[in-house]
Amino acid sequence: MRTTFANLLKFRLALIGLLTLSTLSSLAQDLDFPDFRSKKDNFAKIAEKDIRADLASFSLAAVDESIGKAQLQSLPVKDYGQNFITYQNDNIQVTIKTSFFMPTKHKLMFNEKHLVKIDGKPYYGGVYGEQPHNIIEAVTILVGKDTVPIPATAYFDLYDPKFSFSENGATRSRNGVFLSNDKHTFYIYMFNPDNGGAEYTWVIRDKQYIRRVVDWGFLVR
């Protein structure tokens, strides 16, 4: 699988073209049912300048701040399958694993025929209003010999991650693990093109989980 900036950069440049005609917030599709998704984890809410600057090198929500930003170094893909992907270099290993969404194990809240909450919470990724297909079962991180614990609250409401897509007969990915220039922070980035696109990033600094960043509504197909 090729996880390269070439595809992400190509995609971001196309989005910059759209931004000349519209703001990013206006790209989200209008829904004819209630949208309970919170914006508290949006890129626009981030106050830390260093995190904003790093995210601008790969995040679609930060595309209007990306001009002149140098590309961050990324981890190579070590292995992947239908339900997992592993990134690894000499010091860091990141594995994201998924499993099937089992509706009988969850409390589903509908507005008429539209699914709006799962277990009392709004959800992200996939097609909002429809039942997701997969859950994120675990995010496992090793830095050196140390395991970095990731709380379930970092991903429990994020669904249907897309590990790869096909392009011209090749398997590619818009996801990645990106290293800050000072090497103290790295970013685990996932993108799902469904329903206008949703992206989520987990921020890890000095072997600690710091926060997540969640955005959606990029009109991507």
8 Å CB contact between 215 and 45: no
* CA–CA distance, 29 with 10 (Å, rounded to integer): 22
pLDDT tier for residue 165 given thresholds of 50, 70 and 90: low
pLDDT at 16: 44
In this structure, is residue 20 part of a structural domain? Answer: yes
Is pLDDT at 156 greater than 90 in this prediction? yes
- pLDDT value at residue 126: 81
Domain of residue 75, residue span:
5-216
Q: Residue 174: what pLDDT? A: 83
In-domain check, residue 101: yes
Which residues have CB under 8 Å from 191's CB, separation 6+?
Answer: 60, 162, 174, 175, 197, 198, 199
Closest CA to 114 of 215, 219, 194, 34: 34
Q: Can you give the pLDDT at residue 17?
A: 43
Residue 31 in any domain: the answer is yes
The dihedral through the CA atoms of 16, 20, 24, 26 has a sign that is negative
Please give the Cα distance from 133 to 115 (Å, whole number): 13
Higher-confidence position of 17 and 216:
216
Number of structural domains the chain divides into: 1
Please give the residue that has the higher pLDDT: either 26 or 208: 208
What is the model's pTM? 0.86
Classify residue 221: in a domain, yes or no. no
**pLDDT at position 167, please?**
65
Flag whether 139 is in a domain.
Answer: yes
The predicted pLDDT at position 18 comes to 41
- Taking only the tens place, the pLDDT of each residue in 7-44 is 555 555 444 444 433 344 434 457 889 999 999 999 99
Only one residue has tokens 């710091």, namely 210
Of 38-52, 156-170, 191-205, the least confident: 156-170
Q: Is residue 117 part of a domain?
A: yes
pLDDT given for residue 41 in this prediction: 97
For 62-66, 133-137, 183-187, which range has the lowest pLDDT when averaged over its residues?
A: 62-66
- 53 assigned to some structural domain: yes
For the ranges 3-12, 60-69, 141-150, 166-175, which has the lowest average pLDDT?
A: 3-12
Task: Count Cα atoms within 13 angstroms, Cβ side, for 181.
Answer: 9
Q: Is residue 132 part of a domain?
A: yes
Taking only the tens place, the pLDDT of each residue in 46-97 is 999 999 999 999 999 998 898 888 889 999 999 988 899 999 999 999 999 9
